Structure 1
Amino acid sequence: MLKSSTTLPNDKITKIAIGGFDGIHRAHQRLISRLGREGALVIVDKKQASLTPHIHRCRHLQYPCRFLDFEQIRDLGPEAFVELLKREFPSLETIVVGYDFHFGKGRAADAKSLKMLFDGEVWIVPEQFEDSLSIHSRTIRDLIKSGQIERANRLLGRHYAIMGKVVRGQGIGGRQLLPTVNLEVEDFLIPKEGVYATFTKIEGKLYPSVTFIGRRVTTDSAFAVETHLIDVEIPKLSEGKEIWIYFVKYLRENRKFEALSKLKAQIEKDIKRAKTTLLMR
């Protein structure tokens, strides 16, 4: 029932933190900080994560991950769920959860119930705040979708990032505008349409960049994710190459321009703003 991201044997794990962990944000980090040695994350996977979908949650961790398919456990009662954990982790001594943790069919039990059902220690991490906001994955998603990327980053504790695969673009960037890398992005939450100051990671190297997301309303109206590397030549990239984009600041909304020359002039202004922003990071 449990899928693993490492080969560490379950019988060596003495502490677990349980949750959905989409984003591995600052509140999640408080849970994870309680694990110590021989700890692991138990990720209840509803296949809905979009900040850090699938195995990407494990990129931000130094601990092993175990994935529990929600569909396989949704009908378990609270007692059966606890018994499952004890079977899977024979040496389990401590469970760490958030204040709003619920489990069992129909969310029948909460964090306090877990203390009564589990015969080891249960640590409940209280609600965490940043910018007067309670830190939740859903709050971060809302901020990203509304273009408030800097605020979202503060709740995350890092720059929000998406991974995409290189695809063929229109072919006019290098000739009439500025050269870009065009990406197809799946599963990750796409930020609000517009232009962003970003860093782009290619083969482990970070490049200052300007990234456009949205419909190309000045040209073909197709949706695109395009990133321009600032002051460097784009390395040769094959289609399907995986690239990461890290969002630093929202610069402006998507706009339609009367001519490509005016669009190019605006992109050059965007690059200047991005350079100033990124130099401060």
Structure 2
Amino acid sequence: MEIINDLSTYKSTAKTFVTIGTFDGVHIGHQKVLKNLVESAKINNATPLLLTFFPHPRMVLEKDKEIKLINTIDERIELLKKTDLEFLIIQKFTKEYANKTALNFVKNILVDTLNISKLIIGYDHQFGKNREGDFSHLKEYGQQFNFTVEEISQLNVDSITVSSTKIRKAIEKGEIEKANNYLGYNFMLTGKVVKGRNLGEKIKFPTANLSICETYKLIPKTGAYIVKSEIENNTVFGMMNIGYRPTVSGKHQTIEIHFFDFNKNLYGAKIQIEVLKFLRNEQNFKSIENLKTQLQKDKQKSLKYINGLLFDY
């Protein structure tokens, strides 16, 4: 997959099959659209292409309503690389770009730049200034500029329509297993391991402190979670705490991971954590000993869950 970070540098001479959207989460609904796109393009000897946007339009147009995203842009790229897309165009989204009319967007970008032959979109797609364009507009423009338009129906799980918004809400509530079911993969946190206060080491629960530089990344609700990570080509399980560490008078939120049967120094390393299950809410314990007792219980519960997962494999 070739990544284009500036639409002005790209112009297609081959016919393209295109889909458009922010694709935050690259969830199972998005995957349905992408699969259709790639398969249709292959049958018709066309180039499958995704035009996506960053920052997220709501981050630009609704700054007073701070939105957190399921994926960082790097995580989104990583997920899209697993598809058979040939081109990923990441268009910088600005207020000026948002002022393009639906007709201007279709004519200047889809037709003149991308040489579109077919557009495949999700069931609720809207585009152009003030989101004025919808499926019916696209059908009209398709007839005018000689490209076809296909709308992919909504995807339901347990009779619930899958959407990025519903996944974000599930993550915010700590409903990780529900979110993972909608995503089609495990929700991830990617960051750099930084030095902490080494309190975990003193109670025989050493932790890797994860620092995430992307402030727009969605962080699950505070509490304890079961997690796993790929470190040096090995799968390592553990438990993670997101919170303010009230037992030791913490002042700011931290993300700390205790890996099981693992004692390598990870300081400075970039790691990715897959979040598997919510364990419990953050608690303020009366003493460090009480905290240590609870961590032992958390570990046993985690190991039981992990053994169940491994048995299922």
TM-score, normalising length: structure 1: 0.92
Q: Tell me the equivalent position of 2:127.
A: 103
Are 2:54 and 1:45 equivalent residues in the alignment?
yes
Measured in 2, the distance between the counterparts of 1:214 and 1:13 equals 50
Task: Count the aligned residue pairs.
Answer: 276
Task: Using the TM superposition, give the Cα deviation of residue 4 of structure 1 relative to its aligned residue in structure 2, in angstroms.
Answer: 6.0
**Which residue, 204, 210, 223 being the options, matches 2:239?**
210
Are 2:117 and 1:89 equivalent residues in the alignment?
no
Alignment of 1:100-249 (within 5 A): 100-118=124-142, 119-187=146-214, 188-221=217-250, 222-233=252-263, 235-239=264-268, 241-249=269-277
Task: Using the TM superposition, give the Cα deviation of residue 220 of structure 1 relative to its aligned residue in structure 2, in angstroms.
Answer: 2.8
Task: Using the TM superposition, give the Cα deviation of residue 232 of structure 1 relative to its aligned residue in structure 2, in angstroms.
Answer: 2.4
The runs of 4+ residues in structure 1 deviating greater than 3 Å are 7-13, 46-49
Task: Using the TM superposition, give the Cα deviation of residue 159 of structure 1 relative to its aligned residue in structure 2, in angstroms.
Answer: 0.6
Unpaired stretches in structure 2, ≥5 consecutive residues: 60-67
Q: RMSD of the alignment, in Å?
A: 2.0
Measured in 2, the distance between the counterparts of 1:175 and 1:203 equals 26
Asked whether the equivalents of residues 177 and 260 of structure 1 are also in contact (C-alpha less than 8 Å), the reply is: no
Alignment of 1:23-38 (within 5 A): 23-36=25-38, 37=42, 38=47
Measured in 1, the distance between the counterparts of 2:306 and 2:258 equals 14
Q: 1:126 is aligned with what amino acid?
A: S
Task: Using the TM superposition, give the Cα deviation of residue 131 of structure 1 relative to its aligned residue in structure 2, in angstroms.
Answer: 2.5
From the two aligned structures, give the one with the greater strand fraction: 1
Alignment of 1:57-72 (within 5 A): 57-61=76-80, 62=83, 63=85, 64-71=87-94, 72=96
Instruction: Using the aligned pairs only, state the percent identity.
Output: 29
What SS class does the counterpart of residue 85 from structure 1 fall into?
helix
From the two aligned structures, give the one with the greater helix fraction: 2
Measured in 2, the distance between the counterparts of 1:8 and 1:60 equals 22
Measured in 2, the distance between the counterparts of 1:264 and 1:213 equals 16
| Change in 2 beyond 3 A, CA 1:68/1:254 | same
Task: Using the TM superposition, give the Cα deviation of residue 253 of structure 1 relative to its aligned residue in structure 2, in angstroms.
Answer: 0.5
| Change in 2 beyond 3 A, CA 1:110/1:167 | same
Task: Using the TM superposition, give the Cα deviation of residue 56 of structure 1 relative to its aligned residue in structure 2, in angstroms.
Answer: 2.1
Task: Using the TM superposition, give the Cα deviation of residue 217 of structure 1 relative to its aligned residue in structure 2, in angstroms.
Answer: 0.6
Q: 2:292 is aligned with what amino acid?
A: K
Q: 2:18 is aligned with what amino acid?
A: I
Unpaired stretches in structure 1, ≥5 consecutive residues: none
Q: Tell me the equivalent position of 2:64.
A: none
